[in-house]
Amino acid sequence: MDLLPAVNSQIAKKHGFRSLKLVSVDMDHVLAEQPFGVQYGRLDNGLYYYVRSNSKPRMRAALSLAVKAGSVLEEEDERGVAHIVEHLAFSATKKYSNHDIIKFLESIGAEFGACQNAVTSADDTVYELFVPVDKPELLSQAISVLAEFSSEVRVSKDDLEKERGAVMEEYRGSRNAAGRMQDAHWVLMMEGSQYAERLPIGLEKVIRTVSHETVKQFYRKWYHLSNMAVIAVGDFSDTQSVVELIKTHFGQKSSAPEPPLIRKFTVPSHEEPRFSCFVESEAAGSAVMISYKMQADQLKTVKDYRDLLAESMFLYALNQRFFKISRRTDPPYFSCSAAADVLVHPLKAYIMTSSCKEKGTIEALESMLFEVARVRQHGFSEREISIVRALLMSEIESAYLERDQMQSTSLRDEYLQHFLRNEPVVGIEYEAQLQKTLLPNITALEVSKYSEKLRTSCSCVIKTIEPRASATVDDLKNVVLRINNLEEERNISPWDDENIPEEIVSTKPNLGNIVQQFEYPNVGATELILSNGMRVCYKCTDFLDDQLIFTGFSYGGLSELLESEYFSCSMGPTIAGEIGVFGYRPSVLMDMLAGKRAEVGVNLGAYMRSFSGDCSPSDLETALQLVYQLFTTNVTPGEEDVKIVMQMAEEAVRAQERDPYTAFANRVKELNYGNSYFFKPIKLSDLRKVDPLRACEYFNKCFKDPSTFTVVIVGNIVPTIALPLILQYLGGIPRPPEPIMHFNRDDLKGLPFTFPSTIIREVVRSPMVEAQCSVQLCFPVELKNGTMVEEIHFVGFLSKLLETKLMQVLRFKHGQIYSAGVSVFLGGNKPSRTGNVRGDISINFSCDPAISSKLADLALDEILILQEEGPSDEDVSTILEIEQRAHENGLQENYYWLDRILRSYQSRMYSGDVGISFEIIDDGRSKVKTSLTPQTAKLALQRILPYPCKKQYTAVILMPQTSRFKLLKSFFRSTQTSYRTDAKILAGIAGMAVIALSLWRYSRSTLKS
């Protein structure tokens, strides 16, 4: 076998970037106003259009209607109306009524929520469709829907009343802890401007009482064609025919002779910083947010573009420092990051956010301000900037290599920003040339100067968030004063760079060899058995030129452990990850990987251990070196490493104990899966019993024996380049003298859980700042071994059917929910090739607490009707279309293929030939698709769910805690259902998430609760 590298298209493309000519730049050169690569124009009625042909994905189109009208234009009695108009657009128009638009989209495979979306922000409203175009009439129909949105939304009294419940439920969902914190920060940031009083979600009073005349007046005034644009990017044979469709559907429409004057609202600047100590009893943790506001600059010239690059380098370099500080002994915060964003049209902000231990906000704030002051005094080092430069160069190189494989949705979003923000679209080729030319000449001094914009005198807003008050405004002011004095006295020490090793693998391992090789034409894959026993399967694709992904798995996981060891060993990945599972501390490895696109992560599950990676083909060697290091590194816990991990874990547990939803989730688990230690929440008392040494010992054993692992690699693989690397770093992993964690999949210990055999209805009452309510219905599922493959496919189809029908009943008919989700759990069973598969199907939605029980009954009624009468032909057709479209999209994605091949190896049908199990699974899908009719769907619902469904299920409802007096009255009134309130607190280990500032946008995407 010839394993020597040969000249190929991948290398040619790589050289294509590296030999890309630099451009001669004039800093005052104005970037092209005409967007690149698109047919761009304007109709006589004022509507702008953008049309571009793009074949990723094939036979699909990404469409948008952008309207320069958002919540900031609302009058006081209209607060929330811009968002209500967006809802009504999908409810009823002149041509479509009773949510016919949603029915049409679902009938062509464009799911409501997942592929159809709308967003209302302070400044604009955007409607988005993602539709198939393999039939000529579909594109025309989709564009006609956007045309209806532009001027034909029907705003009748009945339409509004039907939609109020859904809007109100979305409002209620935004009033959780995260929503309250975001809203409060938004008001603080925008103080003194119209934006502060115009959150897109609006006011509850307006949502409940606004008249249809007021809504109609807003729509007719601000939805003017001259303030709109249609964007169409997709797999079109020619763009002119799409332009003609736009003219057909929009050309005859007209607006008022004079477009309304859209006021520009300013946000006042302030020299004195603003301070706030926000106490949120349900907060997920303590946090600090520092924002620096400024006017948003227009990107017009090459100099503006260069400044944008320098700003990006500054933020990257600052974030690198924040990360390294967070990994130090006794760090001031668990995580910290800085970003820049345009919040509203005239306003941009640098935002620094950290999460920290309870009562640690003052220390975190001081560290954040100190680091920025250190940059002002000493600057970044040349080494820091060279690392950031390499990182940015790697990113633009990847974008350039995949310039012909960009998703249509990404291109559509670029043109949206061109219309809404006047951002130039110059094309990736020119951007790559600009960055190659400009990046090497941006100095550390230039980058460091951006720290001047992060002074507390620059419209600064400082806010702490705590579950219990500890910091005061005076404390915050004293920190600012202290850092300012240190800076004035020039009493800040320089940054101390860490010593970074040159090579990940210092000594190359001995080359392995191929013992056996198999070809599987039906999968398009090759399988290798290596000399150390590792099985490697690779599939070459051309979906993305700069992507390779892989997963390796081995049977035997946490289910094999004794209960006494479970909590310690389950903490293994967390403790080992803090120390460094690849032989280097995370802060050191970050610098070692600068300029490379390679990452590897690990996971310990109930029945499997696995590692997964994502890399550029040119960085495959680096990614495989990380895998080699994973298998050859022995992680030993240090006292400080363990201390940091346990601190973070304890904060996460305390945070989740405050969250009402975790009490709810815990009770659902307890009812459905029993009191098994595997499903129990981790408590503080459990954390204190964790043995770090045992945790690391177990982790080391999990990734030690290569002979137990199967690795699947998918992407732009060139075998002549990849095979020597696979043999070197995977084949070179030493096989231990005796097998380690070598398990037979049929002999694994199963997780002990038993679904209740009767009906259980229970209310979990939890203290809440504002009333929230969530409903979960759960049904046991048992799939018979003989027909397992088909039954699993049936479960997939039926879960989508249930989700669609429940949305029709609870959302579109009764108007009482915003979204419904259906989830399937079959993961509790050991991967044995014998025996039945047990699990459950769960239905989730949020609603008004007062009607939660009624809606749960309506959901049960609808499922029973489906079991007894079956779905309609139209329902079945819709589900089949949605599944087929998702499958077609997936066939063009590396991750979809990786998942299919992994499932084939892990299938019960696998007995050594992955091609056969792949074919059996594929045939199972085809059989179910072919056989799916209203009758077979009805029988499957009877067979897979308890029949009738009302004979065995759990219904758990999260409700706000009421007073003892109210509970007593409720008890005496209740004659049908017994409610228990002995809910336990769910406390799982979770990463401390930084609070996102996406508060100014409210998406209509389906929420999967």
Question: How much is the mean pLDDT over the chain?
Answer: 90
Looking at the predicted structure, is the pLDDT value of residue 990 above 80?
Answer: no
Structure confidence at residue 113 as a pLDDT band (50, 70, 90): low
Question: What's the pLDDT score for residue 332?
Answer: 96
- Give me the count of residues in the chain: 1009
DSSP labels for 896-945?
A: HHHHHHHHHHHSTT-SS-HHHHHHHHHHHHHHHHHH--HHHHHHHHHHHS
Estimate to the nearest angstrom the gap between the alpha carbon of 498 and the chain centroid: 33
Using alpha carbons, select from 743, 907, 909, 751 the residue that is nearest to residue 829.
751
Question: What's the pLDDT score for residue 115?
Answer: 36
Query: 371-393 pLDDT, tens per residue?
Result: 999 999 999 999 999 999 999 99
Using alpha carbons, select from 362, 352, 333 the residue that is nearest to residue 476.
362
Question: What's the pLDDT score for residue 502?
Answer: 87
Question: What's the pLDDT score for residue 11?
Answer: 44
End-to-end alpha-carbon separation of the chain, Å? 52
Looking at the predicted structure, is the pLDDT value of residue 841 above 60?
Answer: yes
Structure confidence at residue 949 as a pLDDT band (50, 70, 90): very high
Separation of alpha carbons 902 and 171, rounded Å: 41
Query: 696-731 pLDDT, tens per residue?
Result: 999 999 999 999 999 999 999 999 999 999 999 999
Query: 226-237 pLDDT, tens per residue?
Result: 999 999 999 999
Query: Looking at residues 76-103, what average pLDDT do you find?
Result: 92
Query: Looking at residues 153-157, what average pLDDT do you find?
Result: 94
Question: What's the pLDDT score for residue 22?
Answer: 86
Question: What's the pLDDT score for residue 937?
Answer: 97
Q: Is residue 163 flagged as an active site residue? A: yes
Structure confidence at residue 834 as a pLDDT band (50, 70, 90): confident
Query: 121-142 pLDDT, tens per residue?
Result: 999 999 999 999 998 899 999 9
Separation of alpha carbons 202 and 79, rounded Å: 5
Separation of alpha carbons 34 and 32, rounded Å: 5
Question: What's the pLDDT score for residue 999?
Answer: 29
Question: What's the pLDDT score for residue 991?
Answer: 32
How wide is the angle at C-alpha 917 spanned by C-alphas 913 and 923, nearest 5°? 145
Separation of alpha carbons 821 and 190, rounded Å: 35
Query: 482-517 pLDDT, tens per residue?
Result: 999 999 999 999 999 888 898 999 999 999 999 999
Query: 87-100 pLDDT, tens per residue?
Result: 999 998 999 887 88
Separation of alpha carbons 688 and 692, rounded Å: 10
Crossing angle (nearest 10°) for helices 382-401 and 9-18: 130
For residue 305, count other CB atoms closer than 10 A to its CB.
Answer: 21
Separation of alpha carbons 902 and 550, rounded Å: 10
Catalytic residue among 74, 78, 148, 163: 163
> Considering the entire predicted model, what is its pTM?
0.91
Structure confidence at residue 112 as a pLDDT band (50, 70, 90): low
Catalytic residue among 78, 86, 106, 414: 86
Question: What's the pLDDT score for residue 585?
Answer: 93
Contact 790, 142 (CB under 8 A): no
Token output for 218:
């807003």
Using alpha carbons, select from 325, 458, 324 the residue that is nearest to residue 387.
324
Cis peptide before 57 (omega within 30 of 0): yes
* H helical segments located in 402-442: 408-421, 428-438
Query: Looking at residues 936-948, what average pLDDT do you find?
Result: 96
CA separation (Å) from 954 to 756, 980, 986?
8, 13, 18
How wide is the angle at C-alpha 364 spanned by C-alphas 359 and 368, nearest 5°? 165
Query: 742-797 pLDDT, tens per residue?
Result: 999 989 988 878 889 999 999 999 999 999 999 999 999 988 887 888 999 999 99
Looking at the predicted structure, is the pLDDT value of residue 977 above 70?
Answer: no
Question: What's the pLDDT score for residue 963?
Answer: 52
Query: 419-474 pLDDT, tens per residue?
Result: 999 999 999 999 999 999 999 999 999 999 999 999 999 999 999 999 999 999 99
Separation of alpha carbons 235 and 409, rounded Å: 12
Query: Looking at residues 146-161, what average pLDDT do you find?
Result: 95
Structure confidence at residue 15 as a pLDDT band (50, 70, 90): low
Using alpha carbons, select from 344, 287, 349 the residue that is nearest to residue 315.
349
Separation of alpha carbons 975 and 952, rounded Å: 20
Least confident of 248-252, 564-568, 944-948: 564-568
Question: What's the pLDDT score for residue 985?
Answer: 26
Question: What's the pLDDT score for residue 826?
Answer: 87
Query: 525-554 pLDDT, tens per residue?
Result: 999 999 999 999 999 999 999 999 999 999
Q: Is residue 86 flagged as an active site residue? A: yes
Structure confidence at residue 2 as a pLDDT band (50, 70, 90): very low
Separation of alpha carbons 801 and 299, rounded Å: 47
Contact 21, 433 (CB under 8 A): yes
Query: Looking at residues 146-168, what average pLDDT do you find?
Result: 94
Question: What's the pLDDT score for residue 130?
Answer: 94
Q: Which residue has the tokens 């964790």?
A: 690
Structure confidence at residue 989 as a pLDDT band (50, 70, 90): very low
Structure confidence at residue 9 as a pLDDT band (50, 70, 90): very low
For residue 310, count other CB atoms closer than 10 A to its CB.
Answer: 18
Query: 847-874 pLDDT, tens per residue?
Result: 999 999 999 999 999 999 999 999 999 9
Token output for 40:
């761009």
Query: 300-349 pLDDT, tens per residue?
Result: 999 999 999 999 999 999 999 999 999 998 999 999 999 999 999 889 99
